[in-house]
Each structure stands twice: as C-alpha cells, then as structure tokens.
C-alpha cells in the first residue's frame, strides 16, 4: 500500500480528530497505509506469526468511535460456515475485548475491536494502539485453530483446546 499525504483535521474544540490520531499512530510506528478518498477509512496490513492480515480502520467523529478490523486471509467455504460459526461463538464467549464476526454471504471472517469516546476516558493514541494490538494478537492467536477446523477437519472444541494449551506454554 502506498502512503498518502493527509492533512490534520482539528475539531472546533481544538481536539485532534480520531482519524488523525490513527494516522499519527501509523506514521509514528512506520506502518504503511492507504486512506479512502471520501470516507474516514484507512487500510493497512500486519504480518503476524500465522499470516499477513489485512486491516481496516473506520472512524466516526460524532459520536466519537474508532473501529479496527483484522480480516482472516481466506473466506470460509460455504460448506464450512456453520462449523466456523460454532468455532467463533465458542471463542467469543471468553473474549473480553472485541469479537469475531462472519458474513454468511461470502464467508468473510474478521475480528473487531471498538473504542468510543466517553467524558472520563477520551480516545487517545495510547488507547487506539492498545485496541489495535489486542485485535492483531487475538486474530493471530485463533487463526491457526480456525484454519485447522476448515482444512484439517479438526473438531471445534479440540481446535480451541489446542489454542488454549499453546497459550499456557
């Protein structure tokens, strides 16, 4: 992806925009990204241990929202979507930050972390960084299990047990 020149966007109360906070984070960490021409959407990639992940950032200024998605590198074959839905539901049950989602139409799986601006805890570059890294580490952790259910026909509960066992090493 090619980096685009982006102008700083400041709100009427002299606060930097959420989009600009994310852009600053990417620039400070030397991440390559692209920006949608008309929407507050950024795209980037991240090389995890399991795969290279495509990532999408969506921001909304009113209400103040930051949404980060990492996408599974393969779409789930139609015949595997129900078993992957079970896998994702079981995994989601114990997650404290974010959740997995699957589009039953095309089989896209993504992990979503979400931040909102509240009076006591405004969105900051530090919070955005935490939400991004929790997202990427979670997708990277569960991706091998998801793939083993799809391609090696490993039972859902066994795949999750293997992931949890690996985390305890």
User: Mean pLDDT for each 10-residue chunk of the chain (169 residues)?
Assistant: 37 70 94 95 96 96 90 98 98 94 98 81 84 96 97 97 86
Contact 48, 111 (CB under 8 A): no
* Residue 82 CB coordination number (10 Å): 11
Report the DSSP beta bridge partners of residue 141: none
In this prediction, residue 9 carries a pLDDT of 43
Contact 65, 18 (CB under 8 A): yes
Q: How far is CA 159 from the centre of its chain?
A: 21
CA gap 115, 98 in Å, rounded = 10
In this prediction, residue 157 carries a pLDDT of 97
CA gap 137, 8 in Å, rounded = 29
Q: Tell me the domains of the chain and their CATH numbers.
A: 18-78+96-136 (3.30.1460.70)
Q: Which of 156, 138, 136 is nearest to 146 (CA)?
A: 156
Contact 54, 70 (CB under 8 A): yes
Q: Give counts: helices (H), strands (E), the chain.
A: 4, 6
In 41-124, alpha helices (H): 81-94
């Amino acid at each position: 992806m090619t980096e685009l020149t982006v102008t700083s966007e400041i709100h009427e109360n002299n606060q930097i925009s959420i989009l600009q906070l994310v852009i600053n984070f990417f620039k400070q960490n030397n991440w390559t990204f692209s920006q949608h021409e008309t929407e507050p959407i950024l795209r980037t990639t991240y090389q995890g241990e399991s795969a290279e992940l495509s990532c999408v950032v969506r921001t909304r200024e009113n209400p103040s929202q930051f949404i980060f998605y990492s996408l599974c590198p393969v779409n789930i074959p139609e015949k595997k979507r129900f078993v992957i839905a079970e896998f994702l539901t079981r995994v989601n049950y114990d997650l404290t930050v974010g959740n997995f989602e699957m589009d039953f139409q095309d089989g896209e799986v993504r992990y979503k972390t979400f931040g909102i601006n509240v009076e006591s805890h405004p969105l900051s570059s530090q919070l955005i960084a935490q939400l991004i890294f929790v997202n990427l580490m979670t997708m990277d952790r569960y991706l091998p299990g998801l793939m083993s259910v799809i391609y090696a026909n490993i039972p859902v509960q066994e795949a999750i047990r293997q992931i949890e066992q690996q985390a305890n090493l």
